[in-house]
Amino acid sequence: MNSFVLVLTIAVCMVGENEAVSSIYQDSYISLETLITNPSHIQYYPFYTQTGAANVRKAFVATIPVTQPCSATNSPCGVGAKCTNISGYEVKCTCSPGYNQTFQLIKGITTPVMVVGTKTACQDVDECIGNSTICGIHTLKCNNYPGTYNCTCKNGYMLVPPKKCIKYDPCYYMNCHANSSCSNASGNFQCVCNTGFSGNGSYCTDINECTKGTATCHSNATCANTVGSYTCKCKPGYFGDGRNCSDVDECALKTNNCSKNAVCANTFGGHTCTCLPGYTGNGQVCTDINECLLPGNGNCTLYANCVNTPGSYECKCQPGFAYQGKLCKDVDECLNGQGKCHKEATCTNHIGSYSCMCKYPGFVGNGTWCKQTCAKN
């Protein structure tokens, strides 16, 4: 099988005193003529610049198949790295967790060369060095492994993800449900569902105390189920904590919605509103009844007028009449002195009124005034 040389460029340079590092061949294809002959068995294969100057760059040389470099039995990226073919003979090395990148791009050359090293693209990270708290304070020792690490816990402690030492807890791996607790029953640890839940401990479902009838709400309260419990709330018209509810007297507290022209009557859990006599409505809204518009003139008697008032009415005798008991009787203005007739006039009473007439010939006027027009004989 044909093979070719990969030159893995690294960020380390070896230079002579007062000499600059040449970058002519950085990340470029390198020809065999530029390599130092007789590489022996060194791990790093140095090569010169094209001008032959003393400037040196480090490179690692490995022999892999000509096509599909990443398919080689020994990946050119080495342990702890993912090899990805980019194009041609170029591959990309991506480090796995627990490794640090030393270089990434690998450029191929076309002339076969022997394998002279085992340098990898990714180096293991020793998580234990300089990180005394990585396993926690209850750790005896931190143990490094390629790409990872582990912790040795003190006596009485156990290792749990993510690699921390905690006090030994036999319930830790019991796989109890989120709504259950691990308990020690006669030396046997088991999962028991919390109050308000039912199940085998590994699986717990909420108990609906309201529908099951185990809730202790008052008869005048409503029950509302919650996760793992329930709540009680007094119904409108009652007050309390839901387990004890007392009636609210809206009439005494003046928290009712009755009209000012209505009577409030307290009931258990509520109240009623009744319009006062002379008003009509639902108790919350009461309007005056105009009794005078009803048939019968408000039951007023003859010679009386009906006068409506808020919530009631009055019967008032018409002018010329006055109450005698419950009836309106004619007033004789001529007898009681209410007549306004002239002294030279005659007062004549009528039903509900009176009239005046000048009584002597030779007088003219309407009776309330009389004037003599000629001398008396």
Domains of the chain, earliest start first: 3-124 (no CATH), 209-247 (2.10.25.10), 250-288 (2.10.25.10), 291-330 (2.10.25), 339-372 (2.10.25)
Residue for token digits 């989120």? 178
SS3 assignment, position 207:
coil
The burial of 77, by beta-carbon neighbours within 10 Å (0-12 exposed, 13-18 middle, 19 or more buried), is given as buried
At residue 58, the pLDDT reads 33
Closest CA to 123 of 207, 290, 16, 11: 11
* Number of residues assigned to the chain: 377
Closest CA to 45 of 145, 132, 137, 114: 114
Phi, psi of 210 (to 5 degrees): -70, -45
169-179 per-residue burial string, b: 16 or more CB within 10 A, e: under 16: eeeeebebbeb
Residues 254 and 265: beta-carbon distance below 8 Å: no
Rounded to 5°, the CA angle 356-359-365 comes to 60
SS (H, E, C) 19-32: CCCCCCCCCCCCCH
At residue 57, the pLDDT reads 31
Phi, psi of 142 (to 5 degrees): -100, 130
At residue 264, the pLDDT reads 96
At residue 295, the pLDDT reads 87
Under-50 pLDDT residues of the chain: 1-66, 108-118
At residue 87, the pLDDT reads 65
What is the DSSP-derived secondary structure letter of residue 276?
P
At residue 215, the pLDDT reads 96
pLDDT, one tens digit per residue, over 112-147 is 332 233 455 688 889 888 887 888 888 888 999 888
